[in-house]
């Protein structure tokens, strides 16, 4: 896809620091930039991948912006140490937000209580420091909603990333003050997301890939990469009956209202 417009895209969720890109990361990032994807937000997972994330952010300081946070699927019997590591790093690193954090009950419910604790604590860190959050929810919308509503401050800024929920859930997310991250799922043939996305106000939509996973059509089955966010933008312009420039314009403005980048 060639794009000659003056507008650019912010990819609000890419794991381009993942080992899946070790062999060709430079080309992948150049390809993204050639698709006008000029800024890429890197969500953190845990201590095993963090150093790699910060190294990539250092190598591409104008393009890649790291976050900090403990991912819900990394909450296990060692969660206290992992959380301590987040507290330690927060004053030592230049980060643009707290994430990805949240609740994931898809694989395992063993650590639900700990997931809620870790999520709530990291929400509080973000609120204290006025940092945006990126929230990962999988098969746990009600649990996540309750954890957020139980927080002492209801002042929220950030993204429910890779959203694939219902209309009702989308409206709850927006009502709390969050933005909604739309990724490759939008292009899937069986997805109900196109219907949901029509109901989301434009000033609440941001774009993402969540690469190397969730590859959009027509590349399904291959590795996803940050530049493919342009395919998501294109699909969104079809669904909303507006130009690609419009989509690039409003989603970038939304991303820049969240992240100080």
Site residues (vs Zn ion, CB under 5 A):
43, 210
Our CB check for Zn ion shows the closer of 43 and 66 to be 43
Distance CA 32, CA 2 (A): 12
Shortest distance, position 15 Cβ to Zn ion, whole Å: 6
Shortest distance, position 14 Cβ to Zn ion, whole Å: 8
Pairing mode, strands 37-42 and 64-66: parallel
Our CB check for Zn ion shows the closer of 42 and 248 to be 42
Cβ-proximal residue to Zn ion, closest one = 210
Shortest distance, position 73 Cβ to Zn ion, whole Å: 10
User: Cβ(183)–Cβ(13) under 8 Å?
Assistant: yes
Closest CA to 160 of 124, 197, 135, 131: 135
User: Cβ(99)–Cβ(258) under 8 Å?
Assistant: no
Q: What token pair was written down for 138?
A: 């999988």
Our CB check for Zn ion shows the closer of 169 and 210 to be 210
Shortest distance, position 99 Cβ to Zn ion, whole Å: 8
Shortest distance, position 243 Cβ to Zn ion, whole Å: 29
Query: Residue 224: which residues within 8 A CB-CB, separation 6 or more?
Result: 184, 209, 210, 211, 212, 213, 214, 215, 216
């Amino acid at each position: 896809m060639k794009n000659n417009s003056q507008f650019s895209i912010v990819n609000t969720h890419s794991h381009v620091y993942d080992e899946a890109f070790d062999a060709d990361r430079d080309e992948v990032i150049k390809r993204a930039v050639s698709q006008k994807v000029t800024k890429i937000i890197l969500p953190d997972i845990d201590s095993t991948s963090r150093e790699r994330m910060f190294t990539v952010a250092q190598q591409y300081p104008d393009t890649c912006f790291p976050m900090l946070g403990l991912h819900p699927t990394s909450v296990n019997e060692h969660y206290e140490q992992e959380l301590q590591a987040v507290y330690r790093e927060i004053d030592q690193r230049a980060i643009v937000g707290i994430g990805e954090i949240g609740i994931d009950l898809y694989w395992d419910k063993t650590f639900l209580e700990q997931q809620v604790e870790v999520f709530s604590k990291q929400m509080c860190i973000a609120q204290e420091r006025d940092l945006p959050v990126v929230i990962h929810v999988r098969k746990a919308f009600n649990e996540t909603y309750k954890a957020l509503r139980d927080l002492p401050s209801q002042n929220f800024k950030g993204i429910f990333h890779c959203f694939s929920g219902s209309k009702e859930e989308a409206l709850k997310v927006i009502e709390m003050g969050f933005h909604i991250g739309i990724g490759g799922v939008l292009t899937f043939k069986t997805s109900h997301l196109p219907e949901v996305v029509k109901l989301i106000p434009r000033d609440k939509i941001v774009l993402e890939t969540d690469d190397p996973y969730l590859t959009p059509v027509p590349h399904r089955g291959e590795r996803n990469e940050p530049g493919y966010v342009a395919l998501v933008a294109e699909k969104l312009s079809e669904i909303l009956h507006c130009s690609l420039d419009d989509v690039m314009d409003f989603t970038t403005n939304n991303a820049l209202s969240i992240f100080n980048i």
